[in-house]
Each structure stands twice: as structure tokens, then as C-alpha cells.
Amino acid sequence: MILFNKPSFFQCVVDAFSGYSCPLGERHFHSNIKYSFIMAKLSFVILSVFVAMTSAFVPVSQVNTPTRATFAPTMESSVALNMAEDMYWEDEYPPSKVLGPVMSKMPSALLGMISLVFLASCVVSVYQSQLLVQEPGAIESGAWVKWYYVLGSFGGPLAWGTHVACWIQRKNGM
């Protein structure tokens, strides 16, 4: 029993349950059922991931439940709060402690030299990689990608960060 001129998948399903044969054949019916089952599983997985992602951003309930034991506030929370307040500045430059425990104790001259070393490693790496690219067949074979040049190219962002640290230390008189 075909309702339209061209049978659709839905009509084949209706015909299969009503006892009529599908003009597209039995093979078409089973492959579409298999495809539909796979798509249903994929849709379920995508929906589950979406629900999990959105539930991560739902605010936590602030209902206070009575507890038997009471705890005194720890000093760790006030120390963290004090550290956050100490990082604020209104001058042209921040205090040295924004650089962390290691770099805040380094003199600006040492940070400047470290910045120059990082910058030199970046420049050398990019230059040597460019020379390797110009060799015939290097791009096709991938021979121009060397791990030490990739590692050296990270010197650019590190040079920028250390030169900012050098400026902060110089402004703070170190």
C-alpha cells in the first residue's frame, strides 16, 4: 500500500508493520533501520554530553543544612584573600611580588639577559627553519621540521614575558 508515487522510508516501515512488501526491497529496510539505530545512539550520546556540560554551569544550591560539628575558619582562606589584595596597585607599575616567588627575587639585569637568550633562540630557530624550507623536497618530506627548532621557537613568548619582568624589576629598583 503506497500512499504517494515514490515510496519513502516511513512508508516502507508502515508497510512492513502492516504486512505489505516495500518496493525498495528488504535490504533497504534493514539498512535504514540499522542507520536509524546508530543515529539514535549518536543522538543520545550528544544529548548526554550537552546535558553534562550545561549542568556544570548550574549554580549550586545555597541551602544551609544543620551540622553537628562546627569548624573554626582556617587561616588559609584569609591568607589567600590577603595575597589577592596585595596584588592590586595604583601606580604605573606593579610590585615585584606579582612575578612570583622566584622571579621577584631576580635582579632586572639577569632578567634582561635571560630575555635576550630567549629572543636569540627564537630568531635562530626561525632562521634555520627557513633555510631548511628552501631545500628542494623538504616540504614534501617534512624534513624542515626539527624538534629543536620547534622548541627554540617558544623563546619568543618567553622573551616577551621576561622582558616585562625585567621592566617591573627595574621600575621597583632591583
Mean pLDDT of the chain: 76
* Confidence band for 2, pLDDT divided at 50, 70 and 90: very low
Give the pLDDT of residue 24: 53
Q: pTM, whole model, 2 decimals?
A: 0.50
> Can you give the residue ranges of every domain in the chain?
9-55, 99-171
* Confidence band for 41, pLDDT divided at 50, 70 and 90: confident
Whether residue 69 has pLDDT greater than 90: no
Give the pLDDT of residue 164: 93
One-character DSSP codes across the chain: --SSSS--HHHHHHHHHHTPPPTT-HHHHHHHHHHHHHHHHHHHHHHHHHHHHHHTTSPPP------S---PPPHHHHHHHHHHHHT---SSS--GGGGHHHHTTS-HHHHHHHHHHHHHHHHHHHHHHHHHHTSTTHHHHTTT--HHHHHHHTHHHHHHHHHHHHHHHHHTT-
Whether residue 36 has pLDDT greater than 80: no
Task: Kindly state the percentage of the chain with pLDDT values over 90.
Answer: 28
Lowest mean pLDDT among 3-12, 65-74, 90-99, 118-127: 3-12
Give the pLDDT of residue 111: 93
Q: Are the C-beta atoms of residues 152 and 123 closer than 8 Å to each other?
A: no
* Tens digits of residue pLDDT in 135-174: 888 888 888 888 999 999 999 999 999 999 999 999 888 7
